[in-house]
């Protein structure tokens, strides 16, 4: 049987990237999917992909930082499908400077980081998941339980250059997930996060409304050479959006019935398990 047969799922930020890929996967696994995105045309495009493959989905144009929008999305879900089993707070943005500069974006020193940008990153990456979780609780309690998932990041566990505000919000997500798992478990509600490392969409670093790429950074970077990639795990193909989507699928499915309060690295390939001290492999282990 399909792993999400009979389930109803809301996925935020599902108009592109991991959200779009996961909407398709969840539908393949039997879920009815509510595609929530701040850009309505992207949400509709995802719904079209889902329905073309025989799945069921509806689009909701909404902003996860606006409580009225989140409440409206949940209400629409209940009106259309009668219940809510899965809430995935996936929408997120990266802070300015650092990583975006690699993609031709603006260089920005930390001392010049605008306060309004700090508030924006917190609003989308931390307040948004808070609101999604808040409004999922009542219908999940009435339903006898459910699964809340939040998209965290490898940047919550290891330092990345020049995106400290982003890293701070994702570390906050991890703490919120652990706290909510303790508070909501009595209602049969599980709360987890995925922390993707590789296999994510270039759209994350593009301007809002840019064409949807539909592939991972590694897939669009050119011919794959497992001998060159810094990922410790050497496979004959690059990591993909679906690799992350499948980890999310596990966490929201009944296969993870006793998994809660966890932040699971997805499409990591051993990257976060590496020793922090760089040294040539042929020199043996360093003295610590």
Got the DSSP string for 174-235? HHHHHHHHHHHGGGTEEEEEEEE-SS--GGGGSPTTPPP--S-HHHHSSS--TTT-S-SS--
| Terminal alpha carbon distance of the chain | 51
Q: How far is CA 84 from CA 75, 137, 239, in A?
A: 10, 9, 31
In which element (H, E) is residue 173 found? helix 164-184
> Residue 102 and residue 33: Cα distance in Å, rounded?
34
Task: Please say whether the beta carbons of 89 and 129 come within 8 A.
Answer: yes
What is the bridge-based pairing of β-strands 86-89 and 263-266?
Answer: unpaired
Residue 12 DSSP SS3 = strand
Which candidate in 160, 166, 217, 258 is catalytic?
Answer: 166
Task: Please say whether the beta carbons of 262 and 192 come within 8 A.
Answer: yes
Q: Is 166 a catalytic residue?
A: yes
Beta bridge partners of 266: 196
Which of the residues are catalytic? Answer: 166
């Amino acid at each position: 049987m399909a792993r999400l047969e009979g389930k109803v799922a809301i996925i935020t930020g599902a108009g592109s990237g991991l959200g779009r890929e996961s909407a398709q996967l969840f539908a393949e696994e039997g879920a009815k999917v509510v595609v929530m995105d701040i850009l309505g045309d992207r949400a509709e495009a995802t719904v079209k992909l889902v329905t073309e493959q025989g799945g069921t989905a509806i689009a909701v144009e909404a902003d996860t930082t606006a409580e009225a929008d989140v409440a409206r999305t949940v209400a629409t879900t209940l009106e259309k499908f009668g219940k809510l089993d899965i809430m995935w707070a996936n929408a997120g943005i990266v802070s300015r400077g650092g990583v975006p500069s690699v993609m031709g974006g603006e260089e920005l020193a930390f001392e010049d980081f605008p306060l309004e940008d700090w508030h924006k990153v917190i609003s989308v990456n931390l307040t948004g998941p808070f609101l999604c979780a808040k409004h999922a609780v009542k219908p999940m309690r009435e339903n006898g339980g459910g699964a809340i998932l939040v998209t965290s990041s490898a940047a919550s566990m290891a330092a990345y250059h020049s995106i400290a505000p982003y890293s701070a919000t994702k570390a906050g997500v991890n703490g919120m997930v652990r706290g909510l798992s303790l508070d909501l478990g009595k209602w049969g509600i599980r709360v987890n996060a995925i922390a993707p490392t590789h296999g994510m969409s270039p759209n994350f670093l593009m301007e809002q409304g840019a064409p949807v790429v539909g592939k991972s950074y590694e897939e669009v970077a050119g011919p794959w050479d497992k001998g060159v990639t810094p990922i410790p795990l050497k496979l004959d193909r690059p990591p993909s959006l679906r690799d992350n989507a499948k980890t999310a699928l596990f966490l929201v499915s009944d296969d993870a019935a006793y998994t809660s309060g966890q932040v699971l690295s997805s499409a990591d390939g051993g990257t976060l398990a590496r020793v922090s001290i760089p040294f040539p492999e042929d020199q043996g282990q360093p003295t610590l």
